[in-house]
Every structure is written in C-alpha cells, then in structure tokens.
Amino acid sequence: MKLSAEQRDAMLAAAMLVRSQAHAPYSRFRVGAAVLSSSGRVFLGCNVENLSYGLSCCAERNAIAAAVAGGMQPGGLAAVVVVGDTPEPISPCGACRQVIAEFAAADCSITGANLAGQTRSWTIDGLLPDRFKAEL
Ligand code: THU
C-alpha cells in the first residue's frame, strides 16, 4: 500500500532504531528494516553477520522472518522500509527482492532511506521484473 507521510516516518524511525541493533562487525554496514503486514502490525529486522561471511542475513529478510513468525501470509506484506548509511536511499539486494516478492501484496510499497532522511519508493515489479515464478 502507499504509506502516508506519517506512516512512512513512523516506520523509518523504527527502522533507524533497530538498525542500531545490527550485528555487523565484518562489514561495519548497519541496516534496519521495518515491514508492515496487512493486519496493521509492524515487524523489525536488522542485519546479522557471521564469521562465516556467507551466513550473514540482511535486515529485510530478518524483518520478513519476524512477520512470518507473527502470522503474515504470502500476499500479506503491505510495505517495507529499509535504512542504511548510503549516499542515495538504499535499495534492497537481489536476494531480498526475491524474498519480498514471495510475500508482497499487489500494491506493496518498498521504501529505501539513508541517514539524511532521503527516501525513494518502488514496487516489487519495478525492483525485480521477470522474476522467478513457478507453481510447485
Ligand atoms: N545488507 C542488508 O541488510 N540489506 C541490504 O539490502 C543490503 C545489504 C547487509 C548485508 C551485510 O550484512 C551488509 O549489509 C553489507 O553488505
């Protein structure tokens, strides 16, 4: 859904706060994410890195995992807000795009922000056109 300015600012503030919990001793790049489910609940995630680098998990996927644990179903992801210390508003990595797509509502908005408070929003089709789909 398209977030109001107030909703976006509240989710951005929550994402900024949870970003401070990131476990990022290897990259030192902290990321925070807030996701809104269609039930109206907000779930948070930060990136959690590992000494075995490939095991690291992004903030967006951790927030989605929290939402799934809270009962979110495929199609129930109304909005994503992610924040990182980037010159331009951060945009989700490719792996996170595919995971967002798995849960995104048709009108899901994905908003990236930087620490200066600049934001940019996309649709999942804009971020990941012609993505993998199958009926399994
Ligand atoms: N990272 C995220 O959490 N989200 C993104 O969209 C991009 C990258 C994390 C992964 C890793 O812990 C660190 O940022 C540097 O890539």
Residue 135 lies in a domain: no
Residue 62 lies in a domain: yes
DSSP character string of 45-101: EE-B--SSGGG-B-HHHHHHHHHHHTT--TT-EEEEEEEES-SS-----HHHHHHHH
Q: Is 129 helix (H, G, I), strand (E, B) or coil?
A: coil
How many distinct structural domains can be found in the chain?
1
Residue 68 lies in a domain: yes
Residue 132 lies in a domain: no
Establish whether 60 is a catalytic residue.
Answer: yes
Phi/psi zone of residue 133: left (φ > 0), alpha (ψ -120 to 50 degrees), beta?
beta
Q: How far is the CA of 82 from the centre of ligand 1 (A)?
A: 10
Residue 59 lies in a domain: yes
pLDDT (tens place) for every residue of the chain, 136 residues total: 999 999 999 999 999 999 999 999 999 999 999 999 999 999 999 999 999 999 999 999 999 999 999 999 999 999 999 999 999 999 999 999 999 999 999 999 999 999 999 999 999 999 999 999 999 9
List the CATH number of the domain containing 41: 3.40.140.10
Q: Domain range spanning residue 70? A: 5-127
Residue 136 lies in a domain: no
Longest dimension (CA), the chain: 43
- How far, in Å, CA of 89 to CA of 107, rounded? 21
Ligand 1 pocket, residue 45 CB under 6 Å: no
- How far, in Å, CA of 22 to CA of 50, rounded? 12
Residue 64 lies in a domain: yes
pLDDT digits (tens, 9 = 90+) for 28-53: 999 999 999 999 999 999 999 999 99
Q: How far is the CA of 81 from the centre of ligand 1 (A)?
A: 14
Residue 134 lies in a domain: no
